[in-house]
Amino acid sequence: MKKLFVLLSVLFLTACGGSDDPVTPPAQPEAPVTVWAYLIADTNIKSDLRNNIKNMYEGLSEMDKQATLLVYWDGGSSDAYLSASPCILRYTTDGYGNINGIAARDSSYSHKQLAEQAEIVKTYSNQLSTDMSVMTTVLKDMKSLTKTSQIALVAGSHGSAWTESIFSSRAARSFGQDGNGTDNTITTWDMADAIADAGIKFDMVLFDACMMGTAEVCYDFRNVAKYLIVSALDVPAPGFPYHNFMGNLYEGTVTNYIEICKSYVDYYRTYPGGWASVSLVDGNQMEGLATAVKKRLKSHKETLYTYDPIDKLQQYGLNPYVTGFKYVSFDMKQFIADLNDGVVPTDFQTQLDKTVLYADCLENTDDYTIEKSKYCGLGMYIPVSVRTEWNVTFRKTDWYKAAGWNEVTFSWEN
């Protein structure tokens, strides 16, 4: 009986001993992708870009994997919350709701608190974040802080497709606007070269910027981004709803990227006064798409000599508040059909389907009237006589020659 009592006592003490010690949960698996954000915020949308980081943080806190978010932030040298701006911020989650070793804050946290919780891993002296060499240097620094082979980039700032100049009274901006100077921008072809110079090919680039869903932009990025998420329209000031899809950014599959596109359109479907268009583009297929367009241009040279798309084709960039985008982007598929008596050639449709993997838009919103049936997911520029300054810039794009525009003559050029 005594032996039984001793045995039971040992079992009891073994079971209860150390019950007050904290239990360390097993480490969560690592996410296969690291997310970078390159945010040029020294402009009039600074508060919106701050909210983007806040939404990214919120989405990060809900993940069930270890994951890292690197943010290059340039809010100007007089930034209210980050005296070290420009800088690289790091937010890392353990997959249990802790970010940078601290329990994630709730939705009531302030931008100041968000900045305080960031790990500032690199600071820079005041610099022009749209300069090619600066961008290359920053991206190399971010690469040195990244362990995963897959990287998704969020590029956030102003945008205007491939055009160097839209407004006569405002800064030119193909991508980015660092301050108010007219030269404080970068063309998309220079931006792609800056990425290539950093030795990087992104798994995906999400342009949280207006009017980037054009063939010209996507062609520029064909060698530096496997996939692109872009909008053919202006992007509303709040940008993409990162808090709703951060987990998808970290998984890096086409299925996940499609979910991001759906999340974007769904968000603005119920947003007061919102509008939206979005596409997932396979960058590796852009060469094939250029070849398919070139085939059609070459076979319709006589038609194009007097062709005027303005009253024929659906345009992107007709927001009444930003009229400077007028004529910058026409629907690609509708254009090809119009050249071909209203029929889209089978070989062209096949290549388009390989290139645009998903596309959606909101139809007939307060600020845009879009026929969804005429929306293929990509816009493209068609030279028009009323935009002679754009026609000059257009000749600088890689798409101009790749798609065969250099072999087309228009009557108004004579």
pLDDT tens per residue, range 274-329? 899 999 999 999 999 999 999 999 999 999 999 999 999 999 987 666 667 888 99
CA distances from 414 to 304, 327, 411 (A): 14, 21, 6
By the 10 Å C-beta count (0-12 exposed, 13-18 middle, 19+ buried), 176 is classed as: buried
pLDDT in tens, 10-43: 333 344 445 566 678 899 999 999 999 999 998 8
The rounded percent of the chain whose pLDDT value lies above 90 is: 73
> Taking the CB of residue 127, how many other CB atoms lie within 10 A of it?
16
pLDDT in tens, 35-80: 999 999 988 899 999 999 999 999 999 999 999 999 999 998 778 8
pLDDT band at 6 (very low <50, low <70, confident <90, very high): very low
pLDDT for res 370: 87
pLDDT for res 47: 93
Phi-psi region of 122 (alpha: psi -120 to 50; beta: other; left: phi over 0): beta
pLDDT for res 274: 85
Average pLDDT over residues 160-176: 68
pTM for this entry: 0.92
pLDDT for res 169: 43
pLDDT higher than 80, residue 117? yes
Question: Residue 93 pairs with which residues in a beta bridge?
Answer: 67, 99
